[in-house]
A and B are shown apart, each in its own frame.
Chain A
Amino acid sequence: MPTLSHFLLAVVQALALFAVAPLISGLSRFERAKMHTRRGPSIFQDYRDIYKLLRRQDLAPGEAGRIFQFMPVVMLATLMVIATGLPMLTRFTPISAVGDLITVVYLFALIRFFFSLSGLDSGSSFAGIGASRELTMGVLVEPIMMLALFVAALLAGSTNLGEIGIAISSGTVHSAAATLLAAGAFAFALYIELGKLPYDMAEAEQELQEGPLTEYSGPSLALVKWGLALKQTLVVGWFIGVFLPFGSATEMSFFGLIGGLIAFVIKLFVIFGVIAVIENSVARARFRLTPQHSWLGVGAASLAFVFYLVGL
């Protein structure tokens, strides 16, 4: 059971990320606009969008069921539970009961389950196809994630995310090549999970009318957009927490936490900057050829595994 201070840290962490998520997605919009040499909206535009949507009526198709109605709540709740378990400000996981890599992977699977099911539940065929693609991407991505994380966990000796971070930051992993390759493969898998171009399969705006989001409106749409923004933030935070733990606090001191917060914010901005550059330079990949891309990831992860096995 976590101590009270850890518990407070976890809750503060979750709420902070929840509050900041629309800012991050606003930042992405801003960076895209700049790369298109437009003036673009302000980085707070997403907050205004959410506020506007909250005042609109909630429409739903006649055949939509309860899953469609409750998916936004489930999605956000799960994302915040994940947020309590990731090691972001600190080296260790605030609530270690949620901080196991397998738990985090399967909590993301919970989100994917309900997200896709709501696509089918809405009764719209666009949403259904989007759901099918979302699940397919999950099938292609999860093995890469699991293999990369497993290699890192084997190097660190535990599947707890905090422990992996501690091992990497203190340099006790005995195979730097394996760690680097695992980090690379994991980053690739997470990029696909982010759902940004070129892997914007599920919510392909031009092809699928936003996929599972098609039929949402009003406050439900606001929550779903918030959830998607939070998911992207958390995915990047996951990568930072596991493979880039440098600068985060090693124990629960006030200055340590402030230092960890600053380091985290800097890393987040840098990574989102890199992502913005990548996503605005490419077009969407052809869905049928996505497995070829994911095989690359599998290859990199397997190479990391081989390096670990032979002890390079």
Chain B
Amino acid sequence: MTPLSFFWISILVSVVGALASILVRNSDSTAIRAASGAGIVASAAGLVSGLSALSGPAAVIDLAGPYPFAHFVLRVDPLAGLMISVISLLSLVAWIYGLAYMREYEGRGVGGMGFFMHIFIASMMLVVAADNAFWFLIFFEMMSLASYFLVIFDQNDEAVSAGFLYFFVAHAGSVLIMAAFFLMANAAGSFDFAAFRETSLSPTTASIVFLLGFLGFGAKAGMIPLHIWLPRAHPAAPSHASALMSGVMIKIGVFGIIKVGLDLLGGQELLWWGVVVLAFGAVSSVLGVIYALAEHDIKKLLAYHSVENIGIILLGVGVGMIGIAMNNPTLAVLGLMAGLYHLLNHAVFKGLLFLGAGSVIYRTHTKDMEAMGGLAKAMPWTALSFLIGALAISAIPPLNGFVSEWYTYQALFAGALEGSFLVRFATPIAAVMLALTGALAVMCFVKAYGVIFSGPARSENARNATEAPHSMVAGMAILAAACVLLGLLAPLVAPVMGNIASATLGVPAVMFADGATLMPGEGARTVLSTPLIAVLLIALAMLPLVIHGINARMRATRRHTEAAWATGYLPDVHMALTAKSFAQPIRMFFAPLYAVRKTVSTVWACLTRGYERFVCFARRNEPWADNRFVNPIASGVGVAGRRFQVIQGGDFRIYCLYIVGALVALLIVAAS
């Protein structure tokens, strides 16, 4: 069956699931089962739809919708297919995870959570498939609204305030996106994306449209400096919703940037657009990870890492735009492919990390890393999955994060080899910032894993923790396996990504893999082979193991019960390293960057105060028109109404008289 039919099935089942969870909301366990069951079926259908759309031509369906100015057009091309696959994979895992996790929220409205999750997922799928600006905006707003309700789910002060900030920034972004679309619609004469693709705008208009779209979608993606909502909104939502928001929704922002910059504005890219994207990407990646290092709230740390990885994705997308502007299709495909591959990888490992954080929080009932510790013994599967996720996000070979970062480096290198002066200047700097990001990410995740899972247990809850429930472990295991497979099977995945990139850009395909080796296009004289690295690692590990085992019979067995050395004292739990002290050198060395945050927050405080004053003034003066015009008319109408009310006697027999009287009157009128 075609991708579109599975797509419709998925949307339909999501809607059914939403209604079902609202209808049975009085019984929590039924609501969880209904919502999760529908969710699993819907995401399976969506996954089939997305995967089948990855190759082959775009499937378009045009239903003349209820509005004459905006047809309901859906277009499932390879890029949309990739996004649909990512959304479906993550929502499948999130629903499996939620089978056990949502029990934590029993009694607080699980039916509502199921309803909003379904609406959220369905609207995301429709956003990536919509091919008409009007419907795109509608589903975009629906997505923001549904996720807002998920953010404020906890109903405490922090959640509500975070939700408000998120709502505010999301709508500011929507306004910019609307402005961009209206400019294009003005030039194209209709709201259809197909019409947008055909029109060519003047360079100034195109640049304005691009900037508006870039900033608007960038606010949704969470790039610096429009990221302020991310570290507050993502921790406030329930963990599986955070996984979806961080793993998928911010990718919709990147998807929008790709759509506006590369798809809709077709061959009109200017060089400086790509450099701007590159610059924002580089700054986001470094600042994101530096701020993540200073956090000891696990979910806030992961949220800042999302900012960082969006920066890395934007690096790839920027090189893609530079390639198009330079009329170098190979470079463009390489850059865009690196960005899309990292998009997929980040969704997988960020989802995994958020689910792992959710499991740990579920058992220890705290979000603070300093109150955890020593959980690897109690929660071995969670620890293993989190370790795989940490390795993947730090771009450690041979996992998937490394493959996409390798391609990003190669894209930057290829751009630096042949390009104008500006490009040759910007790309190596971006590569260096990417390297800095990588090293900082390693530090951050060693800290995160070490403080949470290693060392002594630092609180009562951590001492009494047990392994997470089976469905949560199953969800994490699926994503961990995906991380490993996407890395080891990169020679199979990279050509698919390359096809998506070349289909989106409309240029011929570039060879990205040959057998088990990966290469950044033909003619580059370098290769990578993750399967080979994995095989070598395992094979060469035999030697140290053999050496370790050589004298095993001659020595005493391993003793595992001593206390650690603390210069003669017995070690105390307070001597254990805290998350804050672990990252202290970086906070010391990069102090100016942290100071930026403080000045920004004072500026923000001024802005919020000014806003409050404005709101008070508006509130005082708003009823003026009401008091002068509307209220007198309304009270006059009320008086007149009361007079007329007498007609309604309440006795039905009078009504019969009225009926017959009216009949007679009409007959007289008709007869004359």
- A78 to B537 CA separation, bound complex (whole angstroms): 6
A25 at the interface (CB under 8 A from B): no
B585 close to A (CB within 8 Å): yes
Provide the residues of chain A in CB contact with B562, threshold 8 Å.
59-62
A127-147: CB near B (< 8 Å → 1, else 0) gives 111011101101111110111
Tell me, yes or no, whether A66 is within 8 Å of chain B by CB: yes
Question: Contact at B582–A128, with CB atoms within 8 Å?
Answer: yes
Do B540 and A81 touch (CB < 8 A)?
yes
Judged by a CB distance under 8 angstroms, whether B541 is at the interface is: yes
Contacts of B425 in A (CB 8 A): 309
Check B396 against A109 for contact (C-beta < 8 Å): yes
At the interface, yes or no: B516 with Cβ under 8 Å from chain A? yes
Give Cα A272 to B9, complex, Å: 68
A223 touches B547 (CB 8 A): yes
Closest to A129 in B: B577
Tell me if A60 and B548 are in contact (CB < 8 A).
no
Q: Is A160 an interface residue (CB 8 A)?
A: yes
A81 vs chain B, min Cβ distance (A): 5
Do A139 and B541 have beta carbons less than 8 Å apart?
no
Count B-side interface residues using an 8 Å CB cutoff: 91
Give, as a whole number of angstroms, the nearest-CB distance from B359 to chain A: 17
Q: In the docked arrangement, what's the CA distance between A158 and B409, Å?
A: 12
On whether the beta carbons of A150 and B431 are closer than 8 Å, the reply is yes
Chain B: which residue is nearest A145 at the CB level? B435
| Chain A hits for B49, CB < 8 A | none
A1-B516, A120-B446, A123-B454 known; A136 vs B555 contact (CB < 8 Å): no
Tell which of A109, A139, A214 touches B565, judged by Cβ atoms closer than 8 Å: A214
Chain A residues lying within 8 Å of B410, measured Cβ to Cβ, are 102, 159
Which one of B25-33, B521-529, B647-655 is at the A interface? B521-529
A72-116 residues with Cβ-Cβ distance < 8 A to B are: 72-74, 76-78, 80-81, 84, 95-100, 102-103, 105-107, 109-110, 112-113, 116
Is B548 within 8 A of A139, CB to CB?
A: no
Q: Given contacts A109-B396, A110-B397, are A66 and B541 in contact (CB under 8 A)?
A: no
Task: For the complex formed, measure the closest distance between the CB of A67 and the CB atoms of chain B, giving whole angstroms.
Answer: 7
Task: Judge whether B424 is part of the interface by a CB distance below 8 angstroms.
Answer: yes
Asked whether B575 lies within 8 Å of A106 as measured between CB atoms, the reply is no
- State which of B196-204, B436-444, B481-489 sits at the interface with chain A: B436-444
Q: Is B561 an interface residue (CB 8 A)?
A: yes
Question: Which listed segment binds A: B159-167, B413-421, B662-670?
Answer: B413-421
Contacts of A128 in B (CB 8 A): 450, 455, 576-577, 582
A215-B564 in contact (CB<8A): yes
Known: A65-B453, A159-B409. A98 touches B585 (CB 8 A): no
Task: Determine which of B421, B436, B527, B563 lies in contact with A142 in the assembled complex, contact meaning CB atoms within 8 Å.
Answer: B436
Question: Contact: B544 with A157, CB < 8 Å?
Answer: no
Interfacial residues of chain B within 398-414, with CB under 8 A of chain A in the complex:
402, 405-406, 409-410, 413
Give the distance to chain A from B201, nearest Cβ to Cβ, in Å.
34
Interchain Cβ contacts within 8 Å, total number: 274
Cβ-based interface call for B517 (8 A): yes
Is A1's CB under 8 angstroms from B517's CB? yes
Is B396 a contact partner of A110 (Cβ separation < 8 A)?
yes
Q: Is the CB of A62 within 8 A of B436?
A: no
Docked-complex contact A96 and B526, CB < 8 angstroms: yes
Choose from A76, A109, A116 the contact partner of B541 (Cβ within 8 Å): A76
Q: A97-B527, A97-B533, A150-B431 are in contact. Are A219 and B548 (CB under 8 A)?
A: yes
Q: Which chain B positions have C-beta within 8 A of A103?
A: 397, 406, 528, 533
Choice from B416, B442, B547, B563 contacting A135 with Cβ under 8 Å: B442
Tell me how far the C-beta of B575 lies from the nearest C-beta in chain A, rounded to whole angstroms. Answer: 5
- Interface membership of B266, Cβ < 8 A: no
The tally of residues in A whose CB lies under 8 Å from a CB in B reads 91
Given A120-B577, A223-B547: A157 touches B525 (CB 8 Å cut-off): yes
Distance (whole angstroms) from the CB of B443 to the closest CB of chain A: 4
- Name the A residues within 8 Å of B560 (CB-CB): 59-60, 62, 64
Query: Does A171 sit at the interface, judged by CB under 8 A?
Result: no
List, in ascending order, chain B residues with CB within 8 A of A122's CB. 564
Tell me if B536 counts as interface (CB < 8 A to partner A).
Answer: yes
Q: Are A215 and B565 in contact (CB under 8 A)?
A: yes
For A143, the chain B residues whose CB sits under 8 A away are 432-433, 435-436, 439
Which chain B positions have C-beta within 8 A of A218? Answer: 555
8 Å CB contact of A121 from B455, B527, B545: B455
B602 at the interface (CB under 8 A from A): no
> CB of B456 within 8 A of chain A?
yes
Question: With A136-B586, A139-B586, A160-B526 known to touch, is A84 a contact of B536 (CB < 8 Å)?
Answer: yes
Q: Which residues of chain B have C-beta atoms less than 8 A from A78's C-beta?
A: 537
Nearest Cβ on chain A to B68's Cβ, whole angstroms: 54
A63, A120, A122, A129, most chain B CB atoms within 10 A? A63
Provided the pairs A74-B541, A135-B446 are in contact, do residues A96 and B435 lie with their beta carbons within 8 angstroms?
A: no
Pick the most buried of A62, A132, A133, A145: most chain B CB atoms within 10 A of its CB: A132
B413 adjacent to A147 (CB under 8 Å): no
A229 to B528, CA, bound (A): 27
> Chain B: residues with CB nearer than 8 A to chain A?
374, 376-377, 387, 391, 394-397, 402, 405-406, 409-410, 413, 416-417, 421, 424-425, 428, 431-436, 438-440, 442-443, 445-447, 449-451, 453-456, 515-517, 524-529, 532-533, 536-538, 540-541, 543-545, 547-548, 550-551, 554-567, 571, 575-577, 581-586, 588-589
Beyond A55-B551, A102-B409, A103-B533: 19 further Cβ-contacts under 8 Å? A54-B555, A55-B554, A57-B559, A63-B455, A73-B548, A80-B543, A97-B527, A97-B529, A100-B527, A107-B533, A116-B450, A120-B451, A146-B431, A146-B435, A157-B525, A159-B413, A163-B526, A220-B548, A309-B424
A-B contact pairs, 15 of them (CB 8 A): A1-B532, A14-B540, A58-B558, A67-B387, A77-B540, A97-B528, A109-B395, A116-B446, A122-B564, A123-B454, A124-B566, A132-B582, A138-B442, A214-B564, A219-B555
